[in-house]
A and B are shown apart, each in its own frame.
Chain A
Amino acid sequence: KAGVTQTPRYLIKTRGQQVTLSCSPISGHRSVSWYQQTPGQGLQFLFEYFSETQRNKGNFPGRFSGRQFSNSRSEMNVSTLELGDSALYLCASSLDRSYYEQYFGPGTRLTVT
């Protein structure tokens, strides 16, 4: 089975711009979660989608949003980028909740200048 794929792998944006990141889960997986990783805050949960519905949301401002399509692919969007949004954004997929492993993609490295 192909693993979780994320595109693009690297992005450089300017403050104030917006960005869209994409994640394709493992075939058959219906849950997609997003995480932000920074040196200062570590790995932090952004949100989780299941069957096109957001089931859970972390403590991030409304500038961070996401969605999931009927084929389980997911996108996350960050509007009005700030320097502090520079991070590695990781997507994870799993079959469902509870006792199912989450498999992570390689991440998208976002740099905001």
Chain B
Amino acid sequence: SQQGEEDPQALSIQEGENATMNCSYKTSINNLQWYRQNSGRGLVHLILIRSNEREKHSGRLRVTLDTSKKSSSLLITASRAADTASYFCATDRGNNRLAFGKGNQVVVIP
């Protein structure tokens, strides 16, 4: 089954810097979604990008999708301490069955 895989696995940055995470997957998708999770709590939906879209913005978030390379990236600009969390990408083939990557731990140092 397809599964998103994030890279890098862990990221430590200073407050105000940008954070970039990449995600790769193996098969065709309907859409790709990014989620944030704080300390083993529920997942917070960040952004959904459709397979026919190449870039999407939401506040300080920018997501790109390259279906030819089967990859996506999440950019968080001007990071804040509150952005400290685990970030997951999840692929959806259109059947609501999300396939998650292992997650990317981001630590923002004040």
Chain A interface residues toward B at CB < 8 A: 4, 31, 33, 35, 42-45, 48, 55-56, 58, 88, 90, 92, 94, 97-107, 109
B45 to chain A, nearest CB (A): 5
Of residues 74 to 94 in B, which have CB atoms within 8 Å of A's CB atoms?
88, 90, 92, 94
Question: Interface on chain A toward B: helix, strand, loop, or mixed SS?
Answer: strand
Max chain A CB contacts within 10 Å: which of B31, B94, B96, B97?
B96
Q: Which of B13-21, B36-44, B61-69 contacts A (4 or more CB under 8 A)?
A: B36-44
Residues of B within 8 A of A48 (CB): 95-97
Q: Closest Cβ of chain A: how far from B49's Cβ, in Å?
A: 10
B52: shortest Cβ distance to chain A, in Å?
Answer: 10
Residues on B with C-beta less than 8 A from A97 are 94-96
Residues on A with beta carbons closer than 8 Å to the beta carbon of B35: 104
Interface residue? B11 (CB, 8 A)? no
A102 touches B97 (CB 8 A): no
Q: Can you identify 13 A-B contacts, CB atoms within 8 angstroms?
A: A43-B88, A43-B98, A45-B97, A45-B98, A48-B96, A55-B96, A56-B97, A98-B31, A98-B94, A99-B50, A103-B45, A106-B41, A107-B41
**Known contacts A101-B45, A106-B41; is-contact A33 B97 (Cβ 8 Å):** yes
Q: Is the CB of A106 within 8 A of B97?
A: no
* Chain B positions within 8 Å of A101 at CB level: 33, 45, 48
Which residues of the partner chain B approach A44 to less than 8 Å between Cβ atoms? 100
A31–B98 Cα gap in the complex (Å)?
Answer: 13
Given contacts A43-B100, A55-B96, A99-B31, contact A90 B48 (CB under 8 A): no
